[in-house]
Every structure is written in structure tokens, then in C-alpha cells.
Amino acid sequence: MPTFQLADLLRPHILTLTPYSSARDEYTGKEGVFLDANENPYGPALQGSSTFSSSFNRYPDPYQAAIKEKLAPIKGVRPTQIFLGNGSDEPIDLLVRATCRPGTDSILIVPPTYGMYEVSAAVNDVSLIRVPLTPDFQLDTRTVLDAIEPTTKIIWLCSPNNPSGNQLDSEAIRAVIEGAVHSLVVVDEAYIDFASDPSWTAQLDRYPNLVVLQTFSKAWGLAALRLGMCFASEELIRVLNKIKPPYNISAPTQELALKALDHVERKDEMVQQILTERTALAEHLQGMQMVQQVYPSDANFLLVRFDNPKEVFNYLIEHQVIVRDRSKVQLCAGCLRISVGTPTENSILLSWLQQFQDSGRWTVDAGLITH
């Protein structure tokens, strides 16, 4: 059984790179006369009182120690297994840059899936291997493992998957992690709070090639903060810390994230409301004549297959209800992706859908009459 060696996966120059050393790296004390970072000693150019306690004239903690201390027990990991990024987009890009040689290496994705893996590969001139999910959006494990090339550095799995909403079968994920011994296997768990299976973070100590991504953008309701979490081996986290921009998480973001972590129960309460609404919305949609299928969801959205997706989409737009058209995406023909809203938002959505169905612009037998 070959063993995973991170050093074999990293681009050689990343191994030997000397990182930028910030003023906050060289002196980590909190008290003193700080004349080391060319900051403005008087304070921020702001007027009036602030709801923040940070001194905005000072650079923020480059390693976000306070957040990691609070987050680690919540996630059941050690602080040293956590990297925080400017959204999940930052660790996605850093993982590609740390491992993939432009023009030479590849990543593997399982479409339909989240678009950023492909974009990050394109930006970095890294080639893409696509192994589609099965029609019920599950992993074709054998084909995934067979498609891996010696230059394939990362396999991206998204579970619960965007846009399909389902979790990937955990034994299939395990087979990929165990079979892809010379690649990183990233499990993007942006929607894990809405899911029934547990997080893969519990398996980090067992699998050195496993990376788990989560985010504050969905269940925590903090999309505007731009804060993504990456959990991995301490060895890989050290590499990400070495190549990240020094002050990648702003002081307001750090401060607000710390406050949110004191209110896990508020997050859990909102998740429960969304799950209740998800069930109700799915039932209503499934009962509509023009809906062919509501796919099972472990996320905060539903993938819904319509007879007439384009017309439904446009009609909703006309009435200022905006959903995501996924009908051009592989395996998603006819599908719109609908985020679960508040009870009011969901009933607005449903009543416009009902109006459209009742409008006579639509009949079951004839399909769409007017375009």
C-alpha cells in the first residue's frame, strides 16, 4: 500500500519558498509602543462611535488565533488543523497554487458541481479532468479512480453537492480518499449544517490526503464577511499559511466571526427553520403539475425539474423572484435551483408559480402554449 507524502505533491518551489515575514510575525506581544508596521498612530479616519472594538489603524492578527481557538472545539479539530480564508475561494485557489504546476498538472472534478474549482484551474493554467456524477448525482467511484493521472494533484468532491443538493455516498467518498493516495481529496462541505451525514473533519487524523472546506457564508448567515474554513493536516495548513497574503482576514471580519461563534445556538435555530421550510417547499413544489421532479436535498436549496424551465424562470424574474437557472448544466436539463427562503418568501414564490400554472399559458397535455 503506497503512502501519501505531501512533499511529493507540492510544487518544488513551494517547499523551499521563504514566506513574507510581517511585523506581526516578528513581534507577537500585545502591549508596547508599536513603531514597527508603519501604521497611523492616531487612529482610523472615521467619525463617531463604532460598534467595533478593534483598533482599525492596526493590522489584524495574520493567523486569527482567537477565532481558531473558539472554532476548534466546535468543529472537533485542533486549531493547528484550521486555515481561514477570504471566503472558500481563497483556500480553493491556494490549494491549486500549492500543488499544481501550470501547464503540467491537473485537477479532477465530478460535474455537475460548484464552478470555482474549474475557474481556479483555468486561472492557474491547470488542466481539468471531468468524471460526471451518475444521473442520481452520485460518484462513479471506479471511473474516478481510473481517471486519475500521475499529474492529478487534487480531486474535488462537493457534499452536499451544489447544484444537486444531495450528499455523496460516504462509502464512495471514502473509496476515493483511500484510492487516490497521491492526490489531495477535497470535500467541500459548504452546506454541511443542513445535512444528515456527519462532517469529514472527524476523519482528518486518519487521512493525510483529506481536506475539508466549510464556510460562514451559508448556515452562519455571514456571506458578506467573506470567511471560509479549510481543515487539513497540520503539515498542509503550514503550507497554506506560508503562501497566503499575510493579512488575509480583515479585523471587522475577525471580530464579527468571533461574536457569531458565541451564538452557535442562533445558527442552529436558523438551520432548523430552513430545514422545516425545505420540507414544506419541496412538498408544495412536488404537488404542482408543471414540476417533474424535486430532487432530495441535504442543503438549503432545492433542485427542481420543470417541463418548461426557461418560461418559469422568466415569469419569476418578471415578478422579481430570482432563482438560478441550471438547465444548461450537465445532468440538470430542465432544472432550476431554488434557495429555501423565509416562509413569506417561499409563499411568494409558490403563489407566482401557481399563477403561472393557472394562467392558461400552460396546460399539462399540450405543454407550453405561448412562448
Ligand X SMILES: *Cc1c(COP(=O)(O)O)cnc(C)c1O
Residues at the contact surface with ligand X, assessed by CB under 6 A: 87-89, 114, 158, 162, 188, 190, 215, 217-218, 223, 228
Minimal CB distance residue for ligand X: 87
CB of 253 to ligand X, least distance (A): 12
- 6/274 with CB nearer ligand X: 274
How far, in Å, CA of 324 to CA of 309, rounded? 10
CB of 173 to ligand X, least distance (A): 15
How far, in Å, CA of 253 to CA of 255, rounded? 5
Edge-to-edge strands, sheet with 210-215: 82-85, 228-231, 210-215, 184-188, 152-158, 106-109, 127-130
CB of 299 to ligand X, least distance (A): 8
| DSSP code string of 23-78 | HHHH---SSS---SS---SS--S--S--S--S-TTSPPPTT-HHHHHHHHHHHTS-
CB of 114 to ligand X, least distance (A): 3
- 89/178 with CB nearer ligand X: 89
- 87/221 with CB nearer ligand X: 87
Report, in angstroms and rounded to the nearest whole number, the Rg of the chain calculated over CA atoms.
Answer: 23
CB of 37 to ligand X, least distance (A): 28
Quick count: other Cβ atoms within 10 Å of Cβ 100? 25
- 190/321 with CB nearer ligand X: 190
- 213/291 with CB nearer ligand X: 213
- 160/208 with CB nearer ligand X: 160
CB of 14 to ligand X, least distance (A): 23
Tell me the H-state helices in the chain: 6-9, 12-16, 23-26, 65-75, 89-99, 116-123, 141-147, 170-179, 234-243, 251-261, 264-286, 309-318, 343-358
Category of 69 on φ-ψ map: left (φ > 0), alpha (ψ -120 to 50) or beta: alpha
